[in-house]
Amino acid sequence: MIEGVKHIVAVASGKGGVGKSTVTVNLALAMAAEGYRVGILDADIHGPSQAQMLGVGEGVRPQSSSGNGFLPLQVHGIQAMSMAFMVDTREPMVWRGPMVAGAFQQMLTQTAWDNVDYLFIDMPPGTGDIQLTLAQKVPVDGAVIVTTPQDIALLDARKGIEMFRKVNVPVLGVVENMSLHLCSHCGHSEPIFGEGGGERIAAEYDTRVLGRLPLTMSIREQVDGGRPTVVAEPDGEVTGTFLDMARQVAEQIRERGGNEGPEISFS
C-alpha cells in the first residue's frame, strides 16, 4: 500500500475525450465535501490536465519532503500531484513507455500523502504501461469507468472494464458523461450521443451506472477556469450528482472491506 493512503480509486476510460479528468477532479472534490481527506494523482504523463482544472498556476512546484519525495500541493481542500507540477506544460513529453511508467511510479511512491482516505488516480486513456504499473505496484480498491453513450466510446469502455477484471480490480461503476445536451437558450434537452449506453454496459458487466452528467457549457468553463463545478456551484444539480457518486464509491469500498488481495505480477 502507499504510505499515507487508505484507499485507491482509479478513474479510467478506454478512449480520450470522454471527460475522464473532469469527472475525476469533481468526484475527488465531492468526496472531500463529504468529509473525507482526499488526494488526486494525475497519471496522464503525456497530457496532464489536473493542474489547470485545479487552478494551479504555471511554474508552481511541489516542495521536497523529508527523505527523497515531494509534498503534494494543497488545492481546494485536497492534496494533488501531477507531472504538470514538475515540467513546462508547453513542452511535449517525447518519452517511450518505460520512461512514462517510471515517471508514474515515481509520483506514486515518492509523494508524501498526508493521511489520505481516498486517492483518486486520473488514468490516461487506454490499457497500457500506466495501467499495468498501477496494478503491479499497489492494491487498487476499485475503478470508475467514464464513457459517453456513443457506441464507439462504449466499445472502448468495455476494454477498460475487461482490463480491470483481468487484474482483479473491482469496477465500482460507470459514469455516463455528456448523456444529454441542454440548450442554454431554450432549455430543450437532446441525447446527441445516443442514450441507454451506460445501462447496457452496466448490465453486461454486472456493475452499476454511478451517475449521468449533462453536456453543458458551464461544466467545461468551470474546469477550464480552475474552479470545478463542485467548488463553483456547491448547491447545484450537477454537484448533487457528483456527491451521490462519491457516496456510492465510499459505500461500495466500505462493503468490500477495501482491497486486501495480493499484488499482481505479470510475466
Are 86 and 114 in contact by the 8 Å Cβ rule? The answer is no
Task: Categorize the per-residue pLDDT at 258 as very low, low, confident or very high, splitting at 50, 70 and 90.
Answer: low
Instruction: Quote the pLDDT of residue 262.
Output: 34
pLDDT attached to residue 98: 86
Domain limits of the chain?
A: 5-256
Q: Is the pLDDT of residue 266 over 50?
A: no
Write the class of the CATH domain 5-256: alpha beta
Residues in the chain: 267
Instruction: Report the largest interatomic distance among the alpha carbons of the chain, rounded to a whole angstrom.
Output: 57
Instruction: Give the number of C-alpha atoms closer than 13 A to the C-alpha of residue 18, restricted to the C-beta side.
Output: 34
Q: Quick check: 260 pLDDT over 50?
A: no
Output the pTM of the full model.
Answer: 0.91
Q: How far is CA 49 from CA 27, 121, 122, in A?
A: 15, 12, 9
- Give SS3 for 244: helix
Give the tens place of pLDDT for each residue, 137-167: 889 999 999 998 888 878 888 988 999 998 8
Cα 39 to chain centroid distance, Å, stands at: 11
- Strands (E) in the chain, as ranges, are 5-12, 38-42, 73-75, 78-82, 116-122, 142-147, 171-176, 181-182, 189-190, 209-212
pLDDT band for 267, please (50, 70, 90 cuts).
very low
Sheet order of strands, 171-176 included: 73-75, 78-82, 38-42, 116-122, 5-12, 142-147, 171-176, 209-212
pLDDT tens, residue by residue, 55-93: 998 888 988 887 778 999 999 999 999 988 887 777 887
Mean pLDDT of the residues in the chain? 88
